[in-house]
Amino acid sequence: MLNLISSTWEWLVGMLPEPLRPYAMPILAITIVLNVNLGVCSYLILLERKLSAWMQDRHGPNRVGPFGLFQPVADMLKLLLKEDVIPGHVNKVLFVLAPGISVFTTFLAFAVVPFGPVPSNLSPGDGQFPFIIAPGVDLGVVFIFAIGSLAVYGIILGGWASNNKYSALGCLRASAQVISYEIPLGLSVVGLAMLNSSMSIEKILINQASHGLIGWNIWYQPVACVIFFIAAMAEAQRLPFDLAECEQELIGGWHTEYSAMKWGLFFLAEYTHVITISFLTSILFFGGWHFPIIAEIDSAYPGATLVKVAVLLSKVFSVIVLIQMLRWTIPRFRFDQLMGLAWKGLIPLATVNVVLVMTVLQFKVYQLWLFPLSMATFVAAGLMATQSTRPFERRGPAPVEEQGHGGHATAH
């Protein structure tokens, strides 16, 4: 089967003009990422609805197709055929432009994320599938953070252009949230960059795979992993951090006035962001496609590449399910709690983590000592937070003193 696919692909590439042949593989990678992402997002929504129904002891979607498997198709048809209402009081140009900005930035951020084992000797026109859209970006982590932070402009434009007080409050909350959580998100990967001497996602993955299971960054940066995961979820506006759209306070927040496919584009951007978060968590901290014995860096048995892709996708799927379960487990934060968690909790903790990495590297201490040091820091931060938020003990009744004249008691 693989030989048939390979020969068919070579025949198709041979039909292209000579100047276009080096771009055949990148175009194929872009096509696969775009189409698979669209389909995966639709069925991730179905998975979340089924998962939430299971957690709440009720039935999920089960009417459209066997076991409700055609529900995403029905939802997509509904969004496409539903009347596209643009209220008369909105800024129409920005109102229409905002969903496109959100989708464009989230898909662009995925361009430097490897979704398989990237060949080490990759060059244009050599016939190898790249498993990445833009290979060889040395500042891949910085690129993702830079592009991901631009996604909030779509939310801000959508909320402001709606000319609605709930939408305006929602977009202001989103901007404050992104500004706050970008700091711990960036600090969480500084330690990784120092340990791996690179900001390239591909090099960080290869460095973990070359050292085996003990080389996974989760053993050296457990606190950074937790900080990264929390800050990335806050940046993606996922519960319990969806203060910009919470229905109890803001109806729908920045997307209150949106309907039909424009509303769907906003949530396509959100789920694409969730997929990117899951890929980054798996690659940066859990070894990416590496797994002992079955997916080593030197694995060359038939089908090894497919096994590596399956390992990476399994890790990504596990992180996605965790994100979905957290949505239906943890209640939504208040906005002051949301800001306090970033400025009083995550930022100081991320700073201490960076100092620990610098100290270990400076004094050439065995790097695995970072695990107990990081966990001790995390426990100490938790104890300090618990002590600082402990309510004051209720005072006892005021003392009563006997008056010397008349026998009356006076309470002080």
Written as tens digits, the pLDDT of the chain (412 aa) is 445 555 665 656 666 666 666 777 778 888 888 888 888 888 898 999 999 899 888 888 888 888 888 998 898 888 888 888 888 888 888 888 888 888 888 888 888 888 888 887 766 656 677 888 888 888 888 898 888 888 888 888 888 888 888 888 888 888 888 888 889 999 999 999 999 888 889 899 999 998 889 989 999 999 999 999 999 888 888 878 887 777 767 777 777 888 888 888 888 888 888 899 999 999 999 998 999 988 888 888 888 888 999 999 999 999 999 998 988 888 888 888 888 888 888 999 999 999 999 999 988 888 888 888 888 888 888 887 777 655 545 555 555 554 454 444 444 4
Q: Are residues 59 and 197 in the same domain?
A: no
Distance between CA atoms of 254 and 25, rounded to whole angstroms?
39
71 and 109 share a domain? no
Q: Which residues of 283-317 are buried (b: 16+ CB within 10 A; e: fewer)?
A: bbbbbbbbbeeebebebeeeeebebbbbbbbebbe
Judged by DSSP in three states, 401 sits in: strand
Same domain? 103 vs 49: no
Inside any domain, residue 50: yes
Domain boundary residue among 39, 66, 81? 81
pLDDT for res 410? 46
**Does any domain span residue 287?**
yes
Q: In total, how many domains does the chain have?
A: 2
Query: Same domain, yes or no, for 37 and 179?
Result: no
Provide CB contacts within 8 A for 125, sequence distance 6+: 21, 22
Asked if 148 and 45 sit in the same domain, the reply is: no
User: Is 61 domain-assigned?
Assistant: yes
Assign 316 to helix, strand or coil. Answer: helix
SS3 400: strand
Q: Please report whether residue 63 resides in a domain.
A: yes
Same domain? For 228 and 357 the reply is: yes
Coil, strand or helix at 291: strand
Identify the domain containing residue 41 by its residue range: 23-81
67 and 100 within one domain: no
In a domain, 360, yes or no: yes
Distance CA 48, CA 71 (A): 12
Domain membership of residue 126 (yes or no) is no
Query: Is residue 308 situated within a structural domain?
Result: yes
Whole-angstrom distance, CA of residue 97 vs CA of residue 158: 8
Both 67 and 182 in one domain: the answer is no
Same domain, 309 and 196: yes
Q: Is 284 within the bounds of a domain? A: yes
Residues 309 and 162 in one domain: yes
Residue 307 and residue 381 in one domain: yes
Say if residue 363 is in the same domain as residue 226: yes
In three-state secondary structure terms, 409 is strand
